[in-house]
Each structure stands twice: as structure tokens, then as C-alpha cells.
Chain A
């Protein structure tokens, strides 16, 4: 059972909702006549805010046909408010423990997992690392990561095209990452949907391989807007492809003037040093002021 969300109750959301709300005056549900509409604005607003709940529950508990039953409810809530709340809980978890969490996003086939393995090999001697792997299906990527010796948990999103804050919260429960460690979250390969779902990470890092188009930042602007760092990967292939690095960075900065860009190749090791330095700097920042670390 989920501590944060009690997701048992979430599961029933589609199936069981109606039962909670009809308190025996079936009337208010079934008598939605068309003429209800005319009255709603004139009558409802004043008296509804306080005791809006008790339509048709007069002394006799009767529903009066023809009297307006529909009312307006102001919500003013972000659609993703719930995901944002899970993400905020994850972020608190990371902040309290001085954990740096990075959300790695890219198209499928950009070489995210290979890059991640190479990164882990360079860092694991000095820093505890754990990995959350998101894919629609298979345990393959988590297996590849585990071969480096670091713990990894695979989330299969099934039909889902992105990880969300709720899934990552559960993964953290199982992984229990150490204080002052690194958590890499490898998102589902998709440059669209993961942009909108905060996971509680410190930074989104977008990976773009030189075998893709340099105009991807313009084609998928939301992701490049959401990321703090762009890694241009597979640079060992640059001599063989038409990929204009300068133009790619220019496009990314049109979307996101503050985005940093690094070029690297997990295969030759070129540029890996700058990437691990960036991680170390971000990690130092993540550890600053962490409640758990200060107490020790």
C-alpha cells in the first residue's frame, strides 16, 4: 500500500465512484431535465457556496422537478496538480537526503542506456548510484544496468508513454537510495509526453544523437524547453552524418535560452569528462543544505 497516495483508492476511481455520492435521494442524479439549464446562473451562485451540497434534501427529502438542480463549481486547478503533488513529495525526499536525481529523456534509440552505463562506470567508485528504468515493456534495460553492479528498478508503463510522479514514488520506496547518492531516471524513449510530467528530479537532461536531425529542438520544443542540459551524443559518428552541431545548439537556445549543451561519445569517451563534471557540480548543489546530511 502506498504511504503517500494510498493508491488503493485511486484504483477504484473509474469503477466505484457513484456509490459514494448518492445519499438516497436518487432524484438528483436522474432528473437532469433539459430545463435545468435555464435557471442555473440566476439562482445558484449566492446560496450555493455555503450549503451547495443539499439540493433536493429539503424536509421531505424531495426533489422538486423543474427547479434547477445543476450548479457551477469553480475549480481553478491545474490538470496535472496530482502529478505535481507526487513530484513535490519525491523532490522533498531527494532534497532532504542530498540526492541528485536526473531525469534522462530522449527519442528511442538515442543511446541513453549505453551512455548511462558508461557514466555509471566512471562514477560508481566514488558515488553510490541507483537507477529507475522506464520502458513500455521488458526488463532488458534494467538488466543491462544491473550488470554494472548498481541497483536498478524497471518500471514497465504498459500502454503509458511516460513515467509519472506516482510511479517514481513507488520505485523510490523499493530502491531506497542512500543519502548523498545519485539517482538516474531513464524515462521512456519519447520526446513528447515526458516533457509535461514532473517526476521531482533536479534536472531534465535531454539526449540527442547526431544520427537524428539537428532540428529536433524545433520539432519537439516542449522537451527542450523543459530540459536544463542537452547532451549531443554519438559524436564519433559526426564525420559520417550531416548534423550541424552549432545549428542544433542555436535551435535549442531559441526554445530555451538558458539550456547548456555538451557533446560526447559514450563509445570513444570524448566529452564524458565534461558530463561527469556537470553531474558532480549538480550533485554538490543537491547536497548543500540537505537536512539528513546536516544532522550527521
Chain B
């Protein structure tokens, strides 16, 4: 995934929200990111600082909440934890998994002034 493009999207959301909710600067951004979202977190942090420099989110703190990967195994009829898309079901070893959690790529909350 292209972390720089994600950060540009985040900045766009911040700027729209700044008009809608009338704030001038962003101090903290909380993101919710899942292990299956295809995001390299270190690259995201680096890009975030680069993209927000000189904007309303200049020097804003980035807090990443990492969610858990979860899938429904059709064979076991159970929710099971997974880390990668190619993981087998930890209970039965099968691949009849439907991913239910871990793809999150969301802006959750902001601290603004």
C-alpha cells in the first residue's frame, strides 16, 4: 500500500474537518489500522510527518491503534484470530476463512485546537 498517498488522504480529511468543525490546528490524530490493511506502520509514520509538515497538522502526534485480525472459519463455525491473509485456520488448518476484522483503515479521532 502506498503510505504517502494514505497520508495525503488523511490530510485532506483533516482540512475538510477543519472547515466543517471549525478548528485551526490538529495536535493528535488517532488512526485505527488492522494487520490486513496492507499498511507498513513505520512508513506511515514517516510519511505522516513529511506530508503534514507546514500544514494545519504540523508536528501533530500520530497515535496508531492496531486492531486484531479475525476471520470466520466456515469449517469450524468459529471466529478465529489471524495475522495474514494466507493464514490457515488455527483450529482446523483449513482455508475456508472469511475475514471479518483486521482490514481497518480509519481515522478515529482528533485532538484539535
> Is B15 a contact of A79 with CB atoms below 8 Å?
no
In the complex, whether A109 has a CB less than 8 A from a CB of chain B is no
- Residues of chain B lying within 8 A (CB to CB) of residue A78: 105-107
Q: Known contacts A73-B17, A253-B95: does B12 contact A10 (CB below 8 Å)? A: yes
Nearest chain B CB to A107's CB is how many angstroms away? 16
> Is B6 a contact of A80 with CB atoms below 8 Å?
yes
Q: Known contacts A10-B12, A73-B110, A192-B1: does B19 contact A79 (CB below 8 Å)? A: no
Residue of B nearest to A195 (CB): B38
Q: Which of A55, A195, A221 contacts B86 (CB 8 A)?
A: A221
> Is B111 a contact of A71 with CB atoms below 8 Å?
yes
> Is B24 a contact of A81 with CB atoms below 8 Å?
no
For window 143-162 of A, CB contacts with B under 8 Å fall at 160-162
> Is B96 a contact of A257 with CB atoms below 8 Å?
yes
- Residues of chain B lying within 8 A (CB to CB) of residue A257: 95-96
For window 31-46 of A, CB contacts with B under 8 Å fall at 32, 36, 40
A225 to B37, CA, bound (A): 12
For window 201-250 of A, CB contacts with B under 8 Å fall at 217-218, 221-222, 225
> Is B56 a contact of A21 with CB atoms below 8 Å?
yes
Q: Known contacts A72-B111, A82-B12: does B1 contact A222 (CB below 8 Å)? A: yes
Nearest chain A CB to B73's CB is how many angstroms away? 12
Nearest chain B CB to A30's CB is how many angstroms away? 9
> Is B106 a contact of A79 with CB atoms below 8 Å?
yes
> Is A75 a contact of B13 with CB atoms below 8 Å?
yes
> Is A79 a contact of B111 with CB atoms below 8 Å?
no
- Residues of chain A lying within 8 A (CB to CB) of residue B46: none
A54 to B59, CA, bound (A): 24
- Residues of chain A lying within 8 A (CB to CB) of residue B110: 72-73, 75
In the complex, whether B79 has a CB less than 8 A from a CB of chain A is no
In the complex, whether B68 has a CB less than 8 A from a CB of chain A is no
A192 to B24, CA, bound (A): 35
> Is A255 a contact of B17 with CB atoms below 8 Å?
no
> Is A70 a contact of B111 with CB atoms below 8 Å?
yes
A13 to B54, CA, bound (A): 11
For window 76-110 of A, CB contacts with B under 8 Å fall at 76-83
A212 to B24, CA, bound (A): 50
In the complex, whether B78 has a CB less than 8 A from a CB of chain A is no
In the complex, whether B109 has a CB less than 8 A from a CB of chain A is yes
Q: Which of A14, A70, A196, A217 contacts B38 (CB 8 A)?
A: A196
For window 79-111 of B, CB contacts with A under 8 Å fall at 84-86, 88, 95-96, 105-111
In the complex, whether A164 has a CB less than 8 A from a CB of chain B is yes
- Residues of chain B lying within 8 A (CB to CB) of residue A53: 21-23
- Residues of chain A lying within 8 A (CB to CB) of residue B23: 21, 53, 71, 73
In the complex, whether A69 has a CB less than 8 A from a CB of chain B is yes
In the complex, whether B18 has a CB less than 8 A from a CB of chain A is yes
- Residues of chain B lying within 8 A (CB to CB) of residue A281: none
> Is B85 a contact of A221 with CB atoms below 8 Å?
yes
For window 47-74 of A, CB contacts with B under 8 Å fall at 52-55, 69-74
Interface residues of B (CB under 8 A from A): 1-2, 5-6, 9-13, 15, 17-19, 21-25, 27, 31, 36, 38, 54-56, 84-86, 88, 95-96, 105-113
6 closest Cβ contacts across the A-B interface?
A53-B22, A221-B85, A193-B2, A254-B95, A29-B24, A73-B110
11 additional A-B residue pairs with CB within 8 Å, beyond A73-B21, A83-B9: A13-B11, A17-B18, A52-B21, A52-B22, A72-B110, A75-B13, A75-B106, A160-B2, A196-B1, A221-B85, A254-B95
Interface residues of A (CB under 8 A from B): 10, 13-14, 17-18, 20-22, 28-29, 32, 36, 40, 52-55, 69-83, 160-162, 164, 192-193, 195-197, 217-218, 221-222, 225, 251, 253-255, 257
